[in-house]
Structures are given as structure tokens and as C-alpha cells.
Chains A and B, each alone.
Chain A
Amino acid sequence: MMESLFYIAALVAVVSTVAALTRSNAAHALIYLIVSLLAVAVLFFLMGAPFAAALEIVIYAGAIMVLFVFVIMMLNLGETGIAREREWMSPRHWIVPGIMAALLLFELLLAMGHAPGATSAEAVTPKEVGLALYGPYLLAVEIASMLLLAGLVGAYHLGRRFIVRKEGQQ
């Protein structure tokens, strides 16, 4: 029974990822991407890693959604933008991702009763994750911080030149 929950969530993840890749409209692809991330979070939850599931939702689904909302806000200005957004609201665009998300919610509610994990005997608590990160994987955290620094500095330099060019045009 619990095993089948896992396979349903995995199927949702695969289908929504394929859909996210094949949609030509960025906003629709985004919705499927979020469903895919939610499905992966449910997979983590079923396997007894509620902390990883929460992180998946907070960081990926949350951050990506906010980023995309910003981008769409910046791109769709004026009358045409409003008309396009109204068109996006029609049910044929949101009904499939909606069903998928409802399915995932249903699974989550079912799995809630089976503490700690539906398909595993024990749950990985946040404390254990923290102890692993600052115990054996301390150097990995440090290297990852350097990796983020490299990404940040690189993105700053590459993004900066477009700002400079725009100022030059004005």
C-alpha cells in the first residue's frame, strides 16, 4: 500500500518534469516544474526524510516560484500582458497540474498517519542532518561556500556588463 504511494508520486514527478520540458510557455512550464518539485518532496517525506522534504519545498519550489513571478512581472507590462494573463487563467491550463498537486496532497495526508516514514523504519531528523554537515562533512560545507562565492562573483561580473551597456545607450 505504502509502496504504491511511492510509485504514484514518482510517476507524478516524471510526468510533470516531461511536461515542464515540453511546454512552450514559460509560465506553464513553471507550474509543472513546481509540481515536479512537490512530488520529489513527497518522495522524500515517504522515505522518512521530512527535513529534506521541507527544504525541497522552501528552497526550490519557494525560491524558483518567487524568481519566476518577478520575471513575469517584469516581462508582461501593459494591455497585452493583462490579456495574456487572463488567457492563462482558463481551466485547461491549470486543471492537470491542479489534479497532480491534489493527488500529492492526498498522499501526504495518507502518509501522515504512518510516522515516522511511510516506507522506512526511521526518520532523519534535522538534528541528525546538522550533525552530519558539521561533523564528517564540515569541509564539504566550507567548499560549498567557496563554490557559492565563485558563482556569485561570476554572475555579478557577467550580469554587470549588461547594466553598463544599457546605461551607455541612454
Chain B
Amino acid sequence: MKDKDNNILDKIGRRDGLAVPEGFFEDFARRMQAELPENPDAENTRVLAPKTFWERVRPFVYMAAMFAGIWCMLKMFTLMSTSPVDLSIDNNKILTEALSDDNFVYDHFIDEINQNEIFDEMYDDSIGVDDFIEVDSLVLDQYR
């Protein structure tokens, strides 16, 4: 039965037995050209070629580059805006400790200054040695 059926389709082939009046397609094309309305959009429309892979991913690549640039700029501003090294004595633990140590002050500050000159100036300004409080007595004894 199946072979018989297949033979039927094979026998018919691809013929559909349809026909058209002679010159139908030529007439149709002519008629359509005359009947098609004005469509400036259509006339100006050009068929776009299919997009390549690069053309499809390009917007995303550009967007990623833009975000990377913004991130770099923010990073740079952050680095630039960090507060400068604090040199004040109050916030410097080592200096604070050193200055609170009397020996350190006498050894490294007062001794290095010409004490005679200081006291001379003080005498000139009518400031007595006794007025000078908390000065090492050993130092003061030299001037009494």
C-alpha cells in the first residue's frame, strides 16, 4: 500500500497544474508600478547590510570603557584628596612624648641655644631670673 501511495506522488511530481493568462506577470508588474502610491520614506529607505559581530558588541565595549574611565578618575581623585601628613606636635605621638620629657628639652633644645644671650636679653628687658619659673636651678645658680 505504502509503495503504491509513494508511486502516486512520484507520478504526479511537482506539477500543480496551475496556469495564468498569457502575459499576466508583465501586466501585473506594469499595473503595480502605476498603482503604487508615493512613499518618500520608502524611496529613501536603503536596505541595511546585516550587522557584523563587532558592530553588535561595539556599544557594550564603549560603555565598558566609559565606566572603566570613570572608575580610574574617581580612584585618582581619591588619591589626590587624601589629607597631607599632619606635622602638628599635638598629633605627633613621638614629639609629644619627647617634649614632655624635661631632660630631652634641656638636652636638645635649651643646651643648644646660647643661654647667656637669652638671659642677657631677659635682663635687658628687666625680667629677673627669679621671675623665670621652673628653670633648672643649676643653670640659674651660675647667674646669681
Chain A bound to chain B:
no
Give the B-binding residues of A (Cβ under 8 A).
none
